[in-house]
Amino acid sequence: MGKKPPKSTDMPQSVDLRIIGGSFRASKLRYHGDPTTRPMKDRVREAIFNLIGPEAKGCHAIDLFAGTGALGLEAISRGAVSATFIERHIPTARVVEENIQALGLGDRTELLMTSAFLWGKRDLPKWKAESGKPEEEDPPAFHFPPFALSPPWLVFCSPPYAFFVDRQQETLDLITAMIEHAPAGSIVIVEADSRFDFELLPGHIAQKKERDGWDVRTYSPAVVGVLRIR
């Protein structure tokens, strides 16, 4: 008899991720192994939240390339009041929805199934324009826009690394728009790899002991930049 063909390694495998810290610490997150999604490594996620520390408390998290939703959900676990998740790939967006519902956070989150690039051009500017509208007489317990009146943002930009090469200008434009629209006190976090030059970002790279500018750290293969908007 001939040998059995080897099992394919191309089929997605269901993998468990976990919230690292905060009120939902050790809670499982679903990841169905879809190769179009690249979950941030646990050690990088932990390093980012160590850099932010208690600053996540009271923020509104915006997860631009949500994937599993791990970053936005980790932010809520650590004190963010709410989160917006943006994920274009429909099967992946369903995973985000599974994770939101598993944690019982449907009333504090919104999931937008759209391109982050399109959203940044089309929808983000509207938030500011809507800031002057009167509030509803009977507002719901929690509602989203207008975000110009919202708490500071905690913005996560962690797209596929290739976007920093193949779609570099679109990615830079999106990050620039987030910085321009974000309220004072917001934090923008960008994860790329060594192919991306962080000098291309608005602002400058902070030097040692400098408080302003991009705080850039390497967690190979990831390179992470953190900008605090004063």
Beta strands in 101-175 (DSSP E): 109-112, 153-157
Peptide bond into 183 cis (omega under 30): no
CB-facing half-sphere around the CA of 169: CA atoms within 13 A: 0
Q: For the chain, what is the domain count?
A: 1
Q: Could you tell me if residue 8 is inside a domain?
A: no
Q: Could you tell me if residue 156 is inside a domain?
A: yes
90: CATH? 3.40.50.150
Q: Could you tell me if residue 137 is inside a domain?
A: no
Q: For the residues 32-39, what does the mean pLDDT come to? A: 67
Q: For the residues 199-206, what does the mean pLDDT come to? A: 94
Is 46 strand, coil or helix? Answer: helix
Confidence tier at 181 by pLDDT (50, 70, 90): very high
Q: Could you tell me if residue 122 is inside a domain?
A: yes
Judged against a pLDDT cut of 70, whether residue 11 lies above it is answered with no
What span, in angstroms and rounded, lies between the C-alpha atoms of 64 and 88? Answer: 10
Confidence tier at 147 by pLDDT (50, 70, 90): low
Q: Could you tell me if residue 111 is inside a domain?
A: yes
Q: Which domain holds residue 160?
A: 15-131+143-228
Q: Could you tell me if residue 2 is inside a domain?
A: no
pLDDT digit string (tens) for 116-144?
Answer: 999 999 999 887 555 444 444 444 444 55
Q: Residue 130 has what pLDDT?
A: 54
Confidence tier at 9 by pLDDT (50, 70, 90): very low
State both tokens at 60: 């509104």
Q: Could you tell me if residue 199 is inside a domain?
A: yes
State both tokens at 36: 């179009």
CB-facing half-sphere around the CA of 176: CA atoms within 13 A: 12
Q: Could you tell me if residue 23 is inside a domain?
A: yes
What span, in angstroms and rounded, lies between the C-alpha atoms of 20 and 2? Answer: 47
- In the chain, how many H helices and how many E strands? 7, 9
Query: pTM of the full predicted structure?
Result: 0.85
Query: Is-contact 143 150, C-beta < 8 A?
Result: no
Query: Is-contact 20 28, C-beta < 8 A?
Result: no
